[in-house]
């Protein structure tokens, strides 16, 4: 293929530029303003549509990582505190814990959703009864086993933070990811299901936490005629121009999800006879299918890196599964808790692969990818 087939890149429509133009015409370029307010309000409505009472409040920020950092801060993580954290995820899930001096303890995944295993989480609370915060990532847009995890958190009186950076619009029993924890974070980074080029949002389940997050995100300025500071603050707000992109993108979120779903289903159908499974999801969930992944059967003898190289030679981008945090040199000293003898995550990492899931990919291009993957299994 002359054109490179990619994992996931921005897909723009026409409304985005309209909101940006409005910001330029009104000379409202600087942080905050009508697009930020509009984006937050529209996202509030979107998230609250699946809950019985309007109870979630968003704060638009410069990145998903900033949202996670403020969540960790608001959850009260202090130097030396243990935080029980998803193991198979992007480093941005974990780093904010360390920014606040917390000590991440990594929790293995289960095989039904590739997310945090509630049984391993319970085991971690036995080992670390003092833990008060849980950081849960929803991998590749597939919701974790939320009922079980919420119950374990309640039992141990722990605050749940949801890293829903990859999972915007995914639902668990009809309710959207990011609205199960006390705090949720979403990302609008360039490769996510909708993007603002870069950006994120914090979701709080009450207004006073949202106010507190706003305070930290705007340099912790006290109400006084001069600049008065009692805390260390951050410059974390989203710009009014960038928020305009987000407003336009949000109009197309469900459409993006629909196209991602079709891509996943097409791979699934085409690979039905191969010794592999697609990234699995529990029946009570509707993922957003941000990335389609495969997990190759152990006895097939096929190495995912072999498939990745073959794809790469044909100008197709593929990527290994997130390397588990407990295998990362930077976290070599951190504990890892699993529920069974062999770590589930090590198996998924060794035998998994992310396939092109860009919603601009044509059926013809996807067939091209499918043919290459299939050819790797031919004897
Ligand atoms: C993308 C991502 C983030 C970080 O979001 P940014 O907006 O890039 O800072 C955090 N966690 C996960 C799981 C992600 O995939």
pLDDT grade, residue 30 (50/70/90)?
confident
Query: Ligand 1 atom closest to Cα of 200?
Result: 7
Two structure tokens written together for 195: 């993007």
Q: Partners of 353 in the beta sheet?
A: 294, 320
Q: For position 54, what pLDDT does the model report?
A: 76
For the chain, give the mean pLDDT. Answer: 96
DSSP state of 379: -
- Expressed in angstroms and rounded, the spacing between residue 104 Cα and the centre of ligand 1 is 17
Q: In degrees rounded to 5, what are phi and psi of residue 105?
A: -115, 125
Q: For position 53, what pLDDT does the model report?
A: 74
274-308 tens-digit pLDDT: 999 999 999 999 999 999 999 999 999 999 999 99
Q: For position 16, what pLDDT does the model report?
A: 97
Q: For position 112, what pLDDT does the model report?
A: 98
Ligand 1 and 209: CB distance under 6 A: no
Query: Ligand 1 atom closest to Cα of 89?
Result: 13
CB within 8 Å of 72: residues ≥ 6 apart: 83, 96, 97, 99, 100, 102, 133, 135, 161
pLDDT grade, residue 317 (50/70/90)?
very high
- Expressed in angstroms and rounded, the spacing between residue 71 Cα and the centre of ligand 1 is 14
Residue nearest to atom 14 of ligand 1 (CA): 165
Does this model's pTM top 0.85?
yes
Ligand 1 and 8: CB distance under 6 A: no
Whether the predicted pLDDT of 1 surpasses 80 = no
252-282 tens-digit pLDDT: 999 999 999 999 999 999 999 999 999 999 9
Q: Partners of 352 in the beta sheet?
A: 295
Gap between the Cα atoms of 310 and 375, Å rounded: 10
Are 78 and 99 within 8 A, CB to CB? no
Q: Is 378 exposed, middle or buried (0-12, 13-18, 19+ CB in 10 A)?
A: exposed
- Expressed in angstroms and rounded, the spacing between residue 92 Cα and the centre of ligand 1 is 6
* Location of structure tokens 């190289």: 309
**Element counts in the chain: helices (H) and strands (E):** 12, 15
Ligand 1 and 162: CB distance under 6 A: no
Strands across the sheet containing 285-286: 175-176, 171-172, 285-286
- Expressed in angstroms and rounded, the spacing between residue 90 Cα and the centre of ligand 1 is 7
- Expressed in angstroms and rounded, the spacing between residue 168 Cα and the centre of ligand 1 is 12
- The DSSP result for 298-326, as a single string, is GGG---HHHHHHHHHHTTB--EEPPPPGG
Whether the predicted pLDDT of 31 surpasses 80 = no
pLDDT grade, residue 129 (50/70/90)?
very high
> Percent of the chain, pLDDT > 90?
95
- The DSSP result for 53-91, as a single string, is S---EEEEES-HHHHHHHHHHHTT--TT-EEEEESSS-G
The average pLDDT across 126-131 equals 98
Q: In degrees rounded to 5, what are phi and psi of residue 83?
A: -125, 125
Whether the predicted pLDDT of 206 surpasses 80 = yes
Q: For position 217, what pLDDT does the model report?
A: 97
Q: For position 326, what pLDDT does the model report?
A: 98
Gap between the Cα atoms of 65 and 117, Å rounded: 23
The average pLDDT across 223-249 equals 95
Ligand 1 and 166: CB distance under 6 A: yes
Total residues found in the chain within this entry: 379
The average pLDDT across 132-140 equals 98
Q: For position 29, what pLDDT does the model report?
A: 87
Query: Ligand 1 atom closest to Cα of 93?
Result: 11
- Expressed in angstroms and rounded, the spacing between residue 91 Cα and the centre of ligand 1 is 8
- Expressed in angstroms and rounded, the spacing between residue 311 Cα and the centre of ligand 1 is 26
140-173 tens-digit pLDDT: 999 999 999 999 999 999 999 999 999 999 999 9
Ligand 1 and 189: CB distance under 6 A: yes
pLDDT grade, residue 379 (50/70/90)?
confident
Q: For position 51, what pLDDT does the model report?
A: 82
Dihedral sign of CA atoms 35, 37, 41, 43 in order: positive
Q: 319-329: string of b/e by CB count within 10 Å (b at 16+)? A: bebbebbbbee
Q: For position 336, what pLDDT does the model report?
A: 98
Are 208 and 22 within 8 A, CB to CB? no
Helix (H, G, I), strand (E, B) or coil at 135: strand
Q: For position 55, what pLDDT does the model report?
A: 84
3-25 tens-digit pLDDT: 899 999 999 999 999 999 999 99
Two structure tokens written together for 30: 């600087």
Q: How many CB atoms lie within 10 A of CB 46?
A: 17
Query: Ligand 1 atom closest to Cα of 138?
Result: 13
67-101 tens-digit pLDDT: 999 999 999 999 999 999 999 999 999 999 999 99
């Amino acid at each position: 293929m002359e054109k490179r087939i990619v994992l996931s890149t921005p897909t723009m429509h026409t409304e985005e530029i309209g909101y940006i133009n409005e910001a330029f015409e009104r000379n409202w370029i600087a942080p905050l303003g009508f697009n930020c307010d509009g984006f937050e309000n529209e996202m509030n409505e979107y998230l609250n549509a699946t809950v019985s009472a309007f109870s979630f409040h968003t704060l638009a920020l410069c990145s998903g990582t900033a949202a996670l950092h403020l969540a960790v801060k608001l959850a009260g993580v202090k130097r030396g505190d243990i935080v029980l954290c998803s193991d198979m995820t992007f480093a941005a899930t974990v780093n904010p814990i360390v920014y606040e001096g917390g000590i991440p303890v990594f929790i293995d995944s289960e095989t039904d959703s590739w997310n945090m295993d509630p049984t391993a989480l319970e085991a971690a609370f036995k080992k670390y009864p003092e833990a008060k915060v849980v950081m849960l990532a929803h991998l590749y847009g597939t919701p974790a086993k939320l009922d079980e995890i919420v119950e374990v958190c309640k039992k141990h009186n722990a605050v749940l933070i949801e890293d829903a950076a990859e999972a915007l619009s995914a639902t668990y029993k009809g309710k959207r990811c990011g609205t199960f924890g006390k705090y949720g974070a979403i990302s609008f980074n360039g490769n996510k299901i909708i993007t603002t080029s870069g950006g994120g949002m914090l979701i709080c389940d009450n207004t006073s936490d949202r106010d507190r997050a706003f305070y930290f995100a705007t340099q912790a300025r006290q109400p006084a005629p001069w600049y008065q500071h009692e805390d260390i603050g951050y410059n974390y707000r989203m710009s009014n121009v960038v928020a305009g992109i987000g407003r336009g993108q949000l109009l197309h979120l469900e459409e993006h999800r629909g196209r991602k779903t079709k891509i996943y289903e097409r791979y699934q159908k085409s690979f039905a006879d191969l010794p592999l499974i697609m990234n699995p999801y529990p029946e009570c969930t509707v993922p957003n299918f941000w990335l389609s992944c495969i997990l190759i059967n152990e006895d097939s003898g096929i190495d995912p890196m072999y498939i990745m190289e073959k794809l790469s030679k044909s100008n197709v981008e593929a990527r290994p599964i997130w390397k588990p945090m407990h295998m990362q040199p930077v976290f070599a000293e951190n504990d890892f808790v699993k529920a069974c003898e062999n770590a589930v995550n090590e198996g998924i990492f060794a035998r998994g692969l992310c396939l092109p899931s860009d919603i601009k990919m044509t059926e013809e291009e996807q067939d091209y990818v499918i043919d290459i993957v299939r050819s790797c299994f031919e004897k």
